[in-house]
Amino acid sequence: MQKFKLFILVLATFFFSHLCGAKTLDQTAEQYVKLVLALGEHDSGYVDAYYGPDEWAEEARAKKMPIDLIISEAEVLRSELPKMTPDTELMQRLREYYLDQQLVALVAHAKNLSGVEKLDFDAQSRDLYDTEAPHHKLSDFDPLIAELDKMLPGEGSMESRIEAFKKQFEIPKNKLNAVFDRAIEECRNRTKAHIPLLDNENFTLEYVTDKPWSGYNWYKGNAFSLIQVNTEFPIDISRAVDLGCHEGYPGHHTYNALLEDNLVKKRGWVEFSVYPLFSPQSLIAEGSANYGIELAFPGNDKAEFEKNVLFPIAGIDPALAESFEHLGELTSKLSYASNEIARKYINGDIDKTEAVRLLQKYSFSNKDKATQRVRFFDTYGAYVINYNWGKDMIKAYVEQADDQDERWARFTKVLSSPRLPSSLDW
């Protein structure tokens, strides 16, 4: 009887929408936001940010729309989107395409969440993030592991030598504030030289524990963010700039503030007042945040800044900087190994114990850190591709220009327009 009532309600929604004529894009955008909020009632981690009308969020909480109805209404809404033509103004085409692909992801996540259609790793990548990350064999990374083995001093297992080596670069807890404050200041100054930041932009920095991630930006609207850094495990010195750029400048905080100002406030596009985490927007968000580190600190700038500024603040010997930089280069080259481990784990090809073991080998992690990473896989699934594959996609787009100022201009265009992975080059 419940399914029959749901079927009648969906039919009524479909016929009513057609009798009333085609929706405007603004009406479609409003319904999209309400469906995202409705799905957020079934998944507390789905709505990453929302700063639209309070009554829409209250309505979602009160209605508790069933997932089946959310799926049906989203499919109808997508079918009613106007068809694009080559003559349509670019920003309008980007907007229409954004809504289309975000609705595809909404339906996919809702089906996966409800158990209607369980998605494997690559299906999650395609349906949620509008792309598919490249495949590798774990054995492809063995030469890098051998190189690491040669560079590590001391005797004993590789795990114990890595642990001892990395311990030299941990930021003492009583120096965390000073190191992060200086790193974020530098990230902001370098970003501000190329991107006009809003006069009222600001953030609060908090230190937290017991999270599956190392850092997080909670965007609150009106150019304000809450940035959290997970101190459950020791933080090495390179993470200060990485997190300062990724979570702040020119990363998530900058991205969200620009979208709000350019698209919500200036154009009235309400769909950008909500950010559904499991969507193509996340690849742009995470990819630009990771590439932003490299853009803000090109060449050897990051290594030099860490050696000359952050090492002394943290009380770390600058003479160790060169070997630390080499470790960072190897770690970066191994990032795709983590994707392969996540793919095997999510697809059921390996269990948690094996995933932890492989992460210890291929990501230079101790057992606790590797276990935390598997918690990330459990929570976020194929989201891992957004960091490395997303970075490479943004990098390929931005670095079509050779001039550094033009690269910043292309990067800013990504941050302030409704581009998705498959519309980057529009």
- Could you tell me if 166 and 110 lie in one domain? no
Query: Which among 87, 118, 149 is the end of a domain?
Result: 118
Please give the structure tokens belonging to residue 398. Answer: 């931005």
Does a structural domain hold residue 402?
Answer: yes
- Could you tell me if 215 and 346 lie in one domain? yes
Question: What is the predicted pLDDT for the residue at 414?
Answer: 96
Bond into 298 cis (ω within 30):
no
Does a structural domain hold residue 363?
Answer: yes
Question: Residues 161, 419: contact at Cβ < 8 Å?
Answer: no
Backbone angles phi, psi at 376, to 5 degrees: -65, -45
Does a structural domain hold residue 131?
Answer: no
pLDDT in tens, 348-387: 999 999 999 999 999 888 899 999 999 999 999 999 999 9
Query: Which among 118, 149, 164 is the end of a domain?
Result: 118
Question: Residues 194, 405: contact at Cβ < 8 Å?
Answer: yes
d(C-alpha 365, C-alpha 186), whole Å: 28
Tell me how far CA of residue 416 lies from CA of 291, 361, 409, in angstroms: 16, 39, 11
Question: What is the predicted pLDDT for the residue at 194?
Answer: 98
- Could you tell me if 311 and 190 lie in one domain? yes
| Residue (of 109, 414, 192) closest to 286 by Cα position | 414
Please give the structure tokens belonging to residue 273. Answer: 């007042």
Backbone angles phi, psi at 333, to 5 degrees: -70, -25
Spatial neighbors of 245 by CB under 8 A, at least 6 apart, are 187, 251, 289, 292, 293, 296, 297
d(C-alpha 106, C-alpha 69), whole Å: 12
Handedness of CA 60, 61, 66, 67 (dihedral sign): positive
- Could you tell me if 154 and 66 lie in one domain? no
Beta bridge partners of 236: 170
Pairing of strands 47-50, 202-208: unpaired
Question: What is the predicted pLDDT for the residue at 22?
Answer: 59
Beta bridge partners of 50: 274
- Could you tell me if 113 and 174 lie in one domain? no
- Could you tell me if 34 and 170 lie in one domain? no
Question: Residues 36, 106: contact at Cβ < 8 Å?
Answer: yes
Does a structural domain hold residue 169?
Answer: yes
- Could you tell me if 83 and 186 lie in one domain? no
Number of domains comprising the chain: 2
- Could you tell me if 85 and 183 lie in one domain? no
Spatial neighbors of 214 by CB under 8 A, at least 6 apart, are 229, 230, 235, 239, 243
d(C-alpha 316, C-alpha 312), whole Å: 6
Question: Residues 4, 67: contact at Cβ < 8 Å?
Answer: no
- Could you tell me if 294 and 327 lie in one domain? yes
Question: What is the predicted pLDDT for the residue at 23?
Answer: 78
Please give the structure tokens belonging to residue 383. Answer: 């989201």
Does a structural domain hold residue 124?
Answer: no
Does a structural domain hold residue 22?
Answer: yes
- Could you tell me if 224 and 364 lie in one domain? yes
Does a structural domain hold residue 282?
Answer: yes
Instruction: List the domain range (segments joined by +) for residue 51.
Output: 2-118
> Taking the model in full, what pTM does it have?
0.92
Q: What are the residue ranges in the chain where pLDDT is below 70? A: 1-22
- Could you tell me if 67 and 191 lie in one domain? no
Please give the structure tokens belonging to residue 286. Answer: 């995470």
CA angle 348–349–354, rounded 5-degree value: 100
Question: Residues 253, 247: contact at Cβ < 8 Å?
Answer: yes
Does a structural domain hold residue 130?
Answer: no
d(C-alpha 418, C-alpha 17), whole Å: 26
- Could you tell me if 176 and 56 lie in one domain? no
d(C-alpha 264, C-alpha 272), whole Å: 6
N-to-C CA span, the chain: 48
